[in-house]
Amino acid sequence: MPPSKPILIVEDDVWARLIGVVLDPTTPEQRLAAFADFMSPDLPDFRSWCDQVRQAAGRLFPSEVKLVASAAQLRTNLATAEAIVTEALTIGAEELTLAPRLKAVHKYGMVFRNIDVAACAARGVKVLGVRRRANISCAEHAFALMLMLSRQMHKVTGLISVAQLAARGGDYKPFDRRHTPVANWGRFPGTRALNGSTIGIIGLGEIGREIALRAAAFGMTVFYFQRSRLSAADEANLKAAYRPLEALLADSDWVIPQLPLDASTLRFLNRERLALMKPGACIVNVSRAEVIDRDALLAALRSGRLGGFALDAQYEEPGRADDELLTFDNVILTPHMAGSPRFNGLKDIAEVIENLARALAA
């Protein structure tokens, strides 16, 4: 006898857990309360949001949602699964063989390289995706940080009077306006343009691709490095050119390490690799702080070789007021805001649930 409720296998991502919070009535109250608290800065009535998504879920509510954290756990739970939501776990011919009731595989994203799309099509299993709004927001935040550094916004915002300039040690010397414009009357040095510069993205995953698309729109030359080179079609679509890591570091004005944190990426940008960067180049990091060796980073900033640095998720969260990074005037630190507001993730999860509801109803 088939199960009375749909069984969904969901990779245990901190955001994808929301699928269980919404659809599985056996979710512990402690988890629901924790998410309500997490959402409260943007959504005071989280439980009402859950009710709204349930109403749109059709026969998906209620479901049994099984969270899995490894390939072994995935395979163990496939026999009765009607749908899988995966971010990084591989769905191939072996997994499909173990899942005779499977109707849909939903990528928590839009890059399907961990899903055998052809094998799914041969089995009649639908492959679905969502262009995650939180990823788009991360890319926007990366550009906000780049623009702040390039335009020196963190130094000049609100600095509009001669008295303010003098208070910061500046000496006002007017231009001869009979002959010249008055732009940058404070004679602030160090501004640069994104247009015409080169951006090197290390890792063209979901967020890296969103950054590449925006970089091309800014008129930047886009280089990328990762273990597997993209297809020619993808490179053309993103207007991105592959470079070996050493060449990317040497030739880029902006370096964006867009990497997940694991044993292979911990301190990926170390002292040796930072030394390969061109003098005056900047690093903007909206992934994980630990992909950059902190001691090597501080040494590069102290030496003046690094032109600027911006970081969203800090090495400690919450951070420390005496963090040495705060002492540099070419460093911008933000308190893990790149994916905000919460509505980005909420809309992503609602879309995943709606997509699955349609797929399983067909």
| 1-30 per-position pLDDT tens digit | 455 799 999 999 999 999 999 999 999 999
- Give the tens place of pLDDT for each residue, 169-203: 889 999 999 999 999 999 999 999 999 999 999 99
Sheet holding 282-285, edge to edge: 240-242, 221-225, 198-202, 254-257, 282-285, 308-311, 331-333
The DSSP annotation for 70-90 comes to: SHHHHHHT-TT-SEEEESSS-
Closest C-alpha among 125, 3, 133 to residue 65? 3
Name the percent of the chain lying above pLDDT 90.
98
pLDDT for residue 4: 77
- Give the tens place of pLDDT for each residue, 267-318: 999 999 999 999 999 999 999 999 999 999 999 999 999 999 999 999 999 9
- Give the tens place of pLDDT for each residue, 92-148: 999 999 999 999 999 999 999 999 999 999 999 999 999 999 999 999 999 999 999
pLDDT for residue 1: 44
Report the half-sphere exposure of 329 (CA within 13 A, side-chain side).
7
Q: Do domains 7-129 and 135-152+190-333 have the same CATH topology?
A: yes
What ranges do the domains of the chain cover?
7-129, 135-152+190-333
Active site residue 141: no
State the amino acid at position 326 in one-letter form. Answer: L
The answer to whether 120 touches 91, Cβ cutoff 8 Å, is yes
257: pLDDT strictly greater than 80: yes
198, β-bridge pairs: 221
SS3 158: coil
The answer to whether 359 touches 57, Cβ cutoff 8 Å, is no
pLDDT for residue 2: 52
Average pLDDT of 77-83? 97
Active site residue 305: no
Closest C-alpha among 320, 326, 327, 257 to residue 293? 257
- Give the tens place of pLDDT for each residue, 38-57: 999 999 999 999 999 999 99
pTM, two decimals, is 0.94
Catalytic residue, chosen from 17, 214, 288, 342, is 288
Average pLDDT of 336-362? 96
pLDDT for residue 3: 56
Going by pLDDT thresholds of 50, 70 and 90, the confidence category of residue 249 is very high
338: pLDDT strictly greater than 90: yes
pLDDT for residue 362: 78
Report the half-sphere exposure of 29 (CA within 13 A, side-chain side).
0
| N-terminal to C-terminal alpha carbon distance within the chain | 21
Catalytic residue, chosen from 87, 336, 354, 358, is 336
CATH architecture under which domain 7-129 falls = 3-Layer(aba) Sandwich (3.40)
Closest C-alpha among 211, 198, 193 to residue 248? 198
For 135-152+190-333, CATH gives 3.40.50.720
Closest C-alpha among 237, 266, 268, 264 to residue 255? 268
Give me the chain's average pLDDT, please: 96
Active site residue 179: no
Name the percent of the chain lying above pLDDT 70.
99
Average pLDDT of 256-264? 95
